[in-house]
Amino acid sequence: MTTNTNDVQQTIYSELGYKSMPFPYTTPATLEAYAALVGVSAPNPKTARVLELGATYGGNIISQALFNPDATFVGIELSQEQVEKGNEVIANAGLTNVSLIQSDIASIGSEIGTFDYIIAHGVYSWVDDGVKEALLRLIDEHLAEDGIAYVSYNTYPGWHTMEEVRQLMMFSNRDKAQFNHKEKVLHGKTIGSIVGSQILKYDNLKERNSKFLGALRSVMQKDEYYVGHDHLEPNNDPVYFYQFNDHLEAHYLAYLCDADLTLSMVRSFDADIADTLDKLALNDHVAQEQYLDFMLDTTFRKSIICKAKHAESVTYDMGNPELVNSVPMRTIINSFTYTILFNEEALSMFENDIVRDTF
């Protein structure tokens, strides 16, 4: 990544900020469970060393560190402002097992050590090819031999339609050099709303552009910080699932499954889809998942990976209908994640302190 691009992204963070939050499907305990489902052993999450790339101000790993006091968490973040904010939160919380470091991914050296789990949520699609290379090289070099990594990214074919929205917003700002990034987001959303409203006036246009309207509506409803980072970053480079897998293989890494197991356990769909996928790519679960992405118009993937040598221990046949058809995989996995049931205002309805604290 060039210094100029770094400066641009630092400015974007400064102007927009970012809501850093926990992602339950990135926790070491969840990644260990997913690995176990496909027959791969993983390090003990309670005592693991965990690295997060693109950690912002630590909203994901700070909470993990709080509940796993015997584990160690390190976050790498490009934005100095985010790092300072996060380390202040960590100090105020009195946590000693988590820290944030300001660096770009390409500059991380061997001194950082080896990690049992590596998390890269929302990074791969938003950096240039050089940083993509650095990211996977880092995982290859710094992931423990039996370690598990998580990488999420925008994916085609579904993101083709979202890309139309991105291009519309970028086009609307092509002559707005005087705008800061937040102003560009607001202007892009305004123009998007005008274009969408115009399409809705005509039934034939509404029918012809239904996918675009759906994508446009989704973006218009998102917070400014999200739109600014997801749609108006200098780099937004989705890939097809098979291309990501090719990139993994070039770095001696292997794909295990997606955090959304409905994309990996193809037999969880009806028998007709599963039989068709067998005909298209018998015994090739990566190819089957790519065909499924075309059928589902998938826009986002959360890939769980490990070193290629460790993947040789996989004992669970994800393409075997006898193993998969009878198991409600998504129900099982959902039980591993956390859901916010009550917000602060709703909690006030509980008069008993113990009950309220529990919720």
Domain boundary among 188, 214, 231: 231
Residue 282, C-beta contacts closer than 8 angstroms, at least 6 positions apart? none
Residue 352 lies in a domain: no
Q: What is the pLDDT of residues 94-131, one digit of tens each?
A: 999 999 999 999 889 888 999 999 999 989 998 999 99
Residue 40 lies in a domain: yes
Residue 50 lies in a domain: yes
Residues 202 and 270 in one domain: no
Domain boundary among 181, 204, 231: 231
Question: CATH number of the domain that 276 lies in?
Answer: 3.40.50.150
Confidence category of residue 330, pLDDT binned at 50, 70, 90: very low
Residues 175 and 115 in one domain: no
Q: What is the pLDDT of residues 238-254, one digit of tens each?
A: 999 999 999 999 999 99
Domain count, the chain: 2
Are 248 and 254 within 8 A, CB to CB?
yes
Give the domain range for residue 183. 159-231
pLDDT at 81: 87
Which residues, in sequence order, are bridge partners of residue 13?
Answer: none
Residues 246 and 263 in one domain: yes
Are 222 and 185 within 8 A, CB to CB?
no
Nearest alpha-carbon partner for 254 in 151, 177, 109: 151
Burial class of 163 by CB neighbour count within 10 A (0 to 12, 13 to 18, 19+): middle
Residue 245 lies in a domain: yes
Residues 11 and 119 in one domain: yes
Max avg pLDDT among 11-15, 22-26, 36-40, 296-300: 296-300
Domain boundary among 182, 197, 231: 231
Residue 347 lies in a domain: no
